[in-house]
Structure 1
C-alpha cells in the first residue's frame, strides 16, 4: 500500500496483529512480574487506585513529575494457555486507544511537515533544580511521544519480531532436548546486533509472533528513502528503535515473580486470559550496568482499606525492621561490583533482617565506592522532601523510592548521575479521596506524610555519615 496525503499514517497492523511482552530483567522488588514494552517503557499489572493516582499527580502536581516513573496509559494483554512461554500478547484489535494515540501522533507530525530537532529535554536532569510546571509537562509530553514511537514504528516492530522469534526457536530447541524450558522463558536474553536489522524496512518476509514457523509478508510498498511516508518522527528509525544492549543478567527476583505468575495462570481453566497493565517509563533505559535500590518508605504500610489481618501483618513487619525507627527499609537491591565484574542481588528478606547499622552498610555497599554520587543524591533527596512536605493530605503508604545509577559510568563527579524516583502507588491517598469510606483513616489528615518524610530524613542522615566517614578516611 502506497501512502498518500489522505492516508499518511502507518498502520502497525500491516506488519503484525500484535506482539508479545518480554520479561523485564531489572526488577528488584514487587509482588507481580513486570514486562518490557519497548526500550523506553515497561508494563506492570494494573491496579485501579495506582492508575488513578498517577493521573491525579500529573494533572495536579506537575512539580513531582521529575521524581516519578512517567505514566503512559493502559494496555490489555492476552495470555494463551496453549503456549508454553505464557507471555502476555498485546493484540492491536484489543488496544484501540494505543492505535488512536499512535495515529494522532502521526497526524500531528504530518500537519507540521518536517519535524524540528527533537529537544534534549529528556536528557536534562530536572531533579537537580526546580523546573516550572510548563517545563515538567513538556518533558512528560516529549517522553510520551518518544516512547510511543519506539513501540509502533515499523523498524521497532520488526526488531521485536526478530527478537521474539529467536527466543521462541531457542525455547523449541530446549523442549526437544528435554531441558527445563521455563528457565529460558524467564530470561529471554538474546543480544541484538547490527546484522539483525540488515535489509529493507519494507517488502520483507518476517516471522509471525507466537509461531516461528509461520511467516507474513508486509503489504506495505514503501522504500527506505520514500519521502511520501509520514511517521511520527523522521529521524533515524534504527537508532531510536533499537533496544538497549544491557550488561546485566536477569535479576532472580524478577524471574521468581514471572514463574509464580505463570504457574498461577496455568491453574485457570480459560483458554485465554486478558489482564490489564499500566505502561510506565523504564528507569533503566540507556544504562549498561543498572544499579537499583528499592526502598520501602514510611512507617505505615497498610492502606486505608486494608483488612485487620493485613494491618497486623504490616505493623509487625514495620516494628521488626528499620521501617519503625528510620521510616525506610530495603526491599531489593541490584549492584554491579566493578572490581569483580559481576552483579550482586539482594531481596526484601535481606532488608527485613537488617538493623540500623546493617542498613547503613548496605547503602554504602550499593554505591560500590562511587561516593561522588552522594552530594548529587543529597540535593535531590532534599528537594523531594520539600515537595512532599508541601503536599498536605497526601499519604504514600507502602510506596517505594528507587535509586538508580550506571555501575559502568566513569568515577568522576562531573559524570555522576543518580536517579531518584517514586513508585508503587496502589495504597496511596490524595486529599480528594472520600475519607468517610476509609476503614483506617489518616492521622493528621491536613498535614503531609510524616512517615515518608522520616524516611527521606534518615536517608539524608545515613548518606551524609557515609560521605563524611569516607572524607575522614581519605584525609588520614
Structure 2
C-alpha cells in the first residue's frame, strides 16, 4: 500500500510556476471544452450562476449532494498566445486559494490505494445514492476527496512528472506544426468537416478497444496526452491517425509499456476513447483563441469531480431534463429558439431528450458515439430504443437505476421554488466490468446549472419568470417520470422474453 506524505514546507512554486490542464476525453455534450485537472477532477468553463448554485445546494440541501458532481472551487487558467497556446495553464500566483488548501494539509498522510483513511475506509467508493447520507457523511467524503485531488497534483514527484509532460508536449507540438504547414489541410477545414460527420446518428469507432485496464502507474511518457497500445480506440473521424490536423493534445501514441513504476503522480488516464464531440468543441475553442490579438487570455473554470474516474470503459448518457430550456433572463429570440427545440423533440412530451451518448459495445469491442443532433430527431419510440442501446444488454442495472431515480424524484419534489432549466442528468456505468462484479454499478448525477433558479433569487429582473413559482420543477419531474416508465418497460419486456 502506497502512502504519500504531505510536507507543509514544500512549495510547488519551487518546481514550476503553474501546471497545464489536459483535455477531457469523455465529454459527450456541451458547447465549451472541459479539461482534466487531475485523475479525479475536471475543469469546466465557469458560469457565475452555476458556481453559485453549487455552493447554494451544498449549504442548503446536503440530501442532494450524492446526486451532484462534487464541487471543489474556482480556478483561473491562462491561455498563452504563443507556442504554449495548445492548453490552458493554472498559474499558482493566480490561484492563491488552491495553494492555501494544499498548505493546510500540513504533515497529514493519505492512502493512495483503494481505501481511504482509517476513519473513512470506504467513503470514496461507497454508493451514496443507495441510501440517504447525512450532512456529516457528505462532509467527510468531501474532505477526503479534496485531499486526494490536491495530492495527485501538488506532491513533488507528481509535479515534476507533469512538468516533464508539458516540456515534451511543447516540443512535439512544434514538430507537428511544421509538418502541418507543409503536408496537411488547415485546421479551419477540419472544423467545417467535423459537424456533418457528428450529425450522423451513430458514430462508431474504427478499431477495437483494448479492454485491459491501464496501469495507474505512469509509463514512459513522451507526450502530454493519454497513451494507448496498438489497438487504441479512435472515432470514425480517424482524427488521431492518417496525417490529420487534430491537435496533439487529443492524439494517442502507441505505448511500449516501458514503464517507470516509481511515479506517484498517478493521474495518467485509463485506456478510454476520445469522444468526437469533445474533440470538436476543443478544436473550435482553440481556433477562436488563436485568432485573438489581445495577448494572453485568462479564463475562469469550476473544478468538479471527474465522474468517469476509475472507469475502464465509460458508458455515458447525457439527458437534457425538463420541457423548458430557456432561462429566466433570456431574450425573446432565445426563448423562441429553445421552445422550438423542445416542441420538436421528446422534451415536450417526455420532459427529457438525449443530448449525447457513448457506449461500449462489449461483443464488438468498440465504442459507439451519439451527439445532440441525433437526440433532437428521435420520437418517443426512438428515445426508448436508444435507452436499450445505451444499456447494451446490461439490464441488471435497471432495478438499481429505478431506485435511484425514484429517490431523486422525491428530493426534487421537495424543493419548492427551484427550477433546473437546461440542466442535464448523467447516467454512467463501466462497460468493461463483468455484470456480476460487486462494484459494477450505474451512477446518476445532475449537472449544468447555469440557468437554474433557487427560491432566494431576486425575481425583479426576470424576463420569463417560472410558472407556479412556489411549487417544484414539474418539467424536471416529468423527465424523471418518463425515464422510470421507459426503463420499467424495457425491464418488463426483457423478462417476458426470457420467462419460460
TM-score (norm 2): 0.81
Contact residue 41 and residue 147 of structure 1 kept, 8 A: yes
1:205-244 pair list within 5 angstroms: 238=264, 241-244=265-268
- Structure 1 residue 367 corresponds to structure 2 residue 369: no
Structure 2 residues without counterparts, runs of 5 or longer: 1-6, 111-116, 185-243
Change (3 A) 1:469 1:434: same
- 1:415-436 residue CA offsets vs partner (Å, 9 max, x unmatched): 4300000000000000110112
- Matched residues in 1 for 2:160 and 2:361: separation? 35
Give the corresponding residue for 1:91.
91
1:420-459 pair list within 5 angstroms: 420-459=444-483
- 1:361-413 residue CA offsets vs partner (Å, 9 max, x unmatched): 00010011111011111111110111111111100000000000000010227
Contact residue 345 and residue 376 of structure 2 kept, 8 A: yes
- Matched residues in 1 for 2:254 and 2:415: separation? 44
Give 1:172 shift. 3.1
1:95-174 pair list within 5 angstroms: 95-106=95-106, 116=118, 119-174=121-176
- Structure 1 residue 298 corresponds to structure 2 residue 300: no
- Matched residues in 2 for 1:419 and 1:322: separation? 23
- Matched residues in 2 for 1:8 and 1:131: separation? 32
Contact residue 399 and residue 425 of structure 1 kept, 8 A: yes
- Matched residues in 2 for 1:13 and 1:195: separation? 30
- Matched residues in 1 for 2:157 and 2:122: separation? 23
- Structure 1 residue 475 corresponds to structure 2 residue 499: yes
Change (3 A) 1:21 1:134: same
Give the corresponding residue for 1:17.
17
Change (3 A) 1:305 1:11: same
Tell me the C-alpha RMSD between the 2 structures. Answer: 2.1
Give 1:118 shift. 5.6
Change (3 A) 1:278 1:190: farther
- Matched residues in 2 for 1:198 and 1:379: separation? 41
Change (3 A) 1:144 1:182: farther
Give 1:176 shift. 3.7
Does the residue aligned with 1:344 lie in a helix, a strand or coil?
strand
Q: How many residue pairs were aligned? A: 427
1:298-447 pair list within 5 angstroms: 298-412=322-436, 414-447=438-471
The structure where helix makes up a greater share of residues is 1
TM-score (norm 1): 0.85
- Matched residues in 2 for 1:416 and 1:8: separation? 38
Give 1:244 shift. 4.8
Give 1:196 shift. 5.1
- Matched residues in 2 for 1:106 and 1:189: separation? 38
Match of 1:253 among 268, 273, 277: 277
Change (3 A) 1:358 1:413: farther
- 1:131-186 residue CA offsets vs partner (Å, 9 max, x unmatched): 11211221122212221221211222123223333433332332343355851434
Structure 1 residues without counterparts, runs of 5 or longer: 1-6, 200-236
Give the corresponding residue for 2:74.
74
Change (3 A) 1:20 1:281: same
Give the corresponding residue for 2:312.
288
Contact residue 8 and residue 104 of structure 2 kept, 8 A: no
Contact residue 315 and residue 360 of structure 2 kept, 8 A: yes
- 1:179-218 residue CA offsets vs partner (Å, 9 max, x unmatched): 558514340545778755466xxxxxxxxxxxxxxxxxxx
Which has the higher mean CA deviation after the structures are superposed, 260-269 or 42-51? 260-269
